[in-house]
Structure 1
Amino acid sequence: MKISKLYFHIHYCNWKDSHSPGNRLRKVARTLQHHAFLFFDKGKGNFTIGKKRYAIQEGRLFYVAPHVFHSLELDPKTPFCCLTVHFSYASVHFNDLQWEVKQETDILPLPSVQEVKDNYQVGDLFKKLVDSWNAKLPGYEFLAKTLLQQLLIALYQNNKRKDRNDSVALKVEKIIQYMHQNVTRKITLAELSEMTQLSPSYLSRMFKDITGYSVIGFFNKIKMDKAKELMMEGNKKVKEVAQALGFVDEFYFSRLFKRMEGISPSEFYSKNVHGL
């Protein structure tokens, strides 16, 4: 089965958490006619797929195939956040100037449960997928299908990396924590290399393999997320936000923000703070 040959149809996406009306996700038992991914950003409980029972915990992603009975029961005392996407797919081929479409009946070659807590790329793609579906902006269906395909590729890669060196994964996690703690200043690859006792080239390669981002690219993403948070508070100008995040050059910060977010900081500020 080649992912590049698959054409997806998304039935719906959901984002449920402890504050959702009715909290109907707390207890579910059903059989679906399509595929589904469920990603728990937080929560505790039990998830049964077929005859196997799994513990629900932060950073676990479940895959439910069609016609497979499954049930979940969340701990009512523990806050939860669950993202889901429900989909079907067909295999599309182009041979001898003719299109051939086959409805796939096989299940995806993925385990029923994956640990993706340390895989930022998977969580980020899943959230973007659900956000784009719920926003319903022009072209959202095409965007959602593209994000689903990227998510599937990331899950394949995550599954292949399950036997990777755990000590390196822990060091990457340590780096991410360090980035969050030092988001207001500049950090260098040499600094992180010395901290983890890994060569710069090996660290760069493993960081990209685990997160899907370069070291600096990931740190800039954290900075841009923090920038949006600061601007949403409504009490800091763009120049002040740039300075608060360690950028000496306000214009460089603005160019970087626009390249990563698609709009300038001032446009983001106007649309999200003043609603212009």
Structure 2
Amino acid sequence: MSNFHFTGESHDFWEFLYVDKGEVLVTSQDQKLTLHQGQVIFHKPNEFHNVEANGIVAPNLIVISFSCKSPSMEFFHDRIASITQSQKRILANLLAEARNSFASPLDNPYQNQLLLKDEILPGSLQMIASYLEQFLILLMRSAENQTTSTKEFEPLFDKSEALYETILAYFHQNIASHLTTDQICKDNLISEAQLKKMFHKHGQCGAMEFFNRLKIEKAKELIRTRQFTFSQIADQLGYSSIHYFSRQFKKITGMSPTEYTESVLQLASL
């Protein structure tokens, strides 16, 4: 929501905040900063920090907390960086693995404990740790080699990766449409088998599931602005009815649109 304000905290573990959309105002110790889309800031242990929206745009934020005693973490003290597409994909993979592992909602900024699902895939927690390590290492490499192309630290060019990015842009352009697998394949000159393989490789899920999640993320963004009714949001995003929209919303988030709105209002009052 555009008037979100987190009063602040300090704790004995690391935390980073990534701005996926919009911009936010961040306090780090006594310093006030504006963080823009695509930027990440690190907070070291016991450093006071808070965050607030700019009152205009409802931002999408990713906050990840972790413990690490490595001396290499000194590199991230007071660090702000812009992340690359490959680093962003690693974050997306980390979040996808977390969604599959934790029963607790991941979109509550006041969540202080994550509970595991009763059944998780083998190695899920190790995968989360591995993605986090990859993300940190690539940030260090990029920053320490700014005189050379950071491309040398990214995977070799993969045609499927370029096509994946093209289809992501296509999804955003058609967020209000009712897409089908056949339509996606036809518009992007790709077979259904290729589409399935590509999204399971890069998106950790099927293409339609990814597109439906994208729609719901947009719906959450619109709800946070508090400018539209559920019927207006459903219509803007191309849902056939408010009832179908509500079912999809609950299927993906675990909450109804009304419950999500109440959680947003509750957070705003804290």
Q: Is TM-score (shorter-chain normalized) higher than 0.5?
A: yes
Residues 32, 266 of structure 1: alpha-carbon distance in 2 compared, 3 angstrom cutoff: closer
The answer as to 2:133 corresponding to 1:149 is yes
Distance 2:29 2:175 in 1: 47
Q: 1:195-210 to 2 correspondence within 5 Å?
A: 208-209=151-152
Equivalence for 2:189: 246
2:52 and 2:152 map into 1 onto residues whose CA distance is: 34
2:76 is aligned to: 110
Which of 88, 96, 117 in structure 2 is aligned with 1:131?
Answer: 96
User: 1:26-78: CA deviations, max 9, x gaps?
Assistant: 23322111001110112334222233332121111010010122233321222
Q: Distance in 2 between matches of 1:255 and 1:29?
A: 43
Distance between the aligned counterparts of 2:197 and 2:94, measured in 1? Answer: 25
Counting aligned pairs with the same residue, the percent is: 12
One-letter amino acid of the counterpart of residue 129, structure 1: L
TM-score (norm 2): 0.56
Alpha-carbon distance change, 218 to 147 in structure 1, aligned in 2, over 3 angstroms? same
Whole-angstrom distance in 2 between the partners of 1:31 and 1:264: 39
Residue 67 (structure 1) aligned to one of 46, 49, 61? 46
Which of 175, 180, 183 lines up with 1:236 in the alignment? Answer: 180
Deviations 1:96-119 (A, max 9, x none): xxxxxxxx57743125233315x1
1:101 equivalent in structure 2: none
Give 1 or 2: higher strand fraction: 1
CA deviations 1:217-251 (Å, max 9, x no partner) are: 4312224546878899665343x43221023x555
Check if 1:54 corresponds to 2:27.
no
Structure 1: unaligned runs, 5 residues or longer:
1-17, 91-103, 165-205
Flag the structure with larger Rg.
Answer: 1
Q: Is the 8 A contact 2:13 2:66 kept in 1?
A: yes
**3-state SS, counterpart of residue 241 of structure 1:** helix
Unaligned runs of 5+ residues in structure 2 are: 103-119, 212-243, 252-270
Paired residue total: 197
